[in-house]
Amino acid sequence: MERENIMGTMEINPLLVKLSVPMMISMLVQALYNVVDSVFVSWVSEEALTAVSLAFSLQNMMIAVGVGTGVGVNAMLSKSLGEKNQKRANATAENGIFLSACSFLVFLVIGLTCIKPYFYAQTSDDAIALQGIRYLSVCCIFSLGLFTQTMGEKLLAATGRTQLSMISQLVGAVVNIILDPIFIFGYCGEALSGTTGAAVATVIGQFCGAGMTLYFNTRKNPDIQLDFKGFRPSAKAIGRIYTVGLPSIAMQCVGSLMTFGMNLILMAFSSTAVAVFGVYFKLQSFVFMPIFGLNNGMVPIISYNYGARRPERVKKTIRLAVCYAEGIMVLGFCIFEFFPGQVLGLFSASQAMLTIGIPAMRIICLHFLLAGTSIVLSSVFQALGNGLFSLIVSVCRQLFVLLPAAWLLAQTGNVNNVWWAFLIAEIVSVLMSLAFYAHINKTIIVPLCGPAEP
C-alpha cells in the first residue's frame, strides 16, 4: 500500500509548524542579509543608501518573477501529488526550472539596456544615479543564481522538505553576509567596493544557495523525478503554473510600481525622505518575511488537501495561519512603535533622517495590525487556484488607494501626512480580502464535503 504524504495525514497544527518554521527562519535570514546590505552601504554614505533604495522597485520586480513562478509551481506540484498524479508533478517541476532560465534571460537583457534610464527617471543627482546603476546592473546581469535558488526552494517546499529549503537559503545568506564588508569596504579593490561590492556579494550568495537547492532536489527529494532528456516545454504545464503564478508576479510587480511612485512623491520633499522609505522597506521585511515563510508552509498543505478533497483540513490550516500571522504583526508593531530611533540608528541615521524617520515608522506600523490577515488570505486564494482575487486586492490597495492617497496627502506640504496612506490602503485591503474569502469558502471549500471526506 502506498504511503500517503504527511500533508494529508499529520495533525494540522504540528504540520503547519513543521513546514512553516524552517521557511520562516530562512525568510528572516533573507531579511537579515537584505538589511545588512543596506546597513553596510549606509556606512559608505547617505547617497549610497538612497541609490540602493531607488534600485529596490526593479530589484523587487526581478524577485517577483522568480517567486511568483515558484508559487505557481508550488501550488500545482502539491496539488498533483495530492491527486497521486506523479507524471504531472514531474512535468510541473521540469517546466518550472525551464521558466526560471527564461526569466534570467529577460533580466539579463534588462540589465544590459535599461538600468541607466531607470535611475535617471527618478533622480538627477549623478552621485546617486551612478552608484545605483553599478549596483543594479550586477544584480540583473548575474541573476541566474537568484532564479535557480528561488525555484529550487519552492520545489523543496512543495514536497514538504522545508528544512532543506531553509538550509539552502541559510547557505546563500551567510555567504552574502560574510562577503558584504569584504567587498563594500574595498578589501578586494576599489572596483569592487561600495554599492558594486554589495551587489557582487549578493549574487555570489545567490549562486551558493542555488547550488544547494540543485543538490537537494536531485539527491534528497524522491517525490519528484527530474529528467531533461528530450525535454520540451509543455504549454499545458506552463499554463497551469502561470494560472496561479501570474497573479502572484503581478501583485509583486504592482508593489514595484508602488515603490517607484512613492519614491517620486517623496523625492519632491528630499532624498532623505526616499532614504527613510527605503530603510522602512528593509526593516519591515523582518515583520513580513516570517509571514511569507508561514504562507510557504501553508500553501502546499492547502493545495494538497484541496486536491484530496478534505475541506476541514483546509479551513483549519487557514485559521491557524491567520492567528500566527496576526501574532507576528503585533510584535512588529510594538518594535516600530516604541523603538523607531534605535532601529534607524542601525543605518547611521543623520539628525535629518531621524526627524523624518521616527514619525514615519510610528505611523506606518499601524497598518501591521490589519496586514497579517490580508497576506495570509492572499496566499489562500492562490493555493485554491484563484490568484486573480489576490491580484485584484493588491492592485486596489497599492495603485488605486495607496498611491493616490499618498499623492493627495503630499499636497499638504507635510511629509509626515504621506505615511497615513499605508493605513488607509490596508483598511480597504482587509475588507476586500474578507469578502473574497467568504465567496471562496462558499463556492470552493464547502462543496468539497462529500463521500470522499474521511
From first to last of the 454 residues of the chain, give the pLDDT tens digit: 445 667 777 888 998 988 888 878 877 877 776 788 788 888 888 888 889 888 988 988 898 899 889 888 888 888 888 777 888 888 888 899 999 999 999 999 999 999 999 999 988 889 899 999 999 999 999 999 999 999 998 888 888 787 888 889 889 988 998 999 999 998 888 878 889 999 999 999 999 999 999 999 888 888 887 877 778 888 888 988 888 888 778 877 888 889 899 999 999 999 899 989 988 988 888 899 889 889 988 988 898 888 888 888 889 999 999 999 999 999 999 999 999 999 898 888 889 999 999 999 999 999 999 999 999 999 999 888 787 898 899 899 999 999 999 999 999 999 999 999 999 999 999 999 999 999 999 988 888 775 444 3
Domain presence at residue 29: yes
Cα separation, 18 vs 7, in Å, equals: 11
Phi, psi of 29 (to 5 degrees): -65, -40
Quote the Cα angle for 204-208-212, to 5°. Answer: 165
Domain presence at residue 452: no
Cα separation, 241 vs 270, in Å, equals: 42
User: How many separate domains does the chain show?
Assistant: 1
Cell digits for 153?
A: 526552494
Domain presence at residue 403: yes
Cell digits for 256?
A: 514595484
At how many degrees (to 10) do helices 194-219 and 162-184 cross?
A: 160
268's CB contacts (< 8 A; 6+ apart) are: 410
**What domain range includes position 391?**
8-447
Domain presence at residue 2: no
Domain presence at residue 3: no
pTM of the model: 0.75
Domain presence at residue 210: yes
Around Cβ 189, how many Cβ atoms within 10 Å? 9
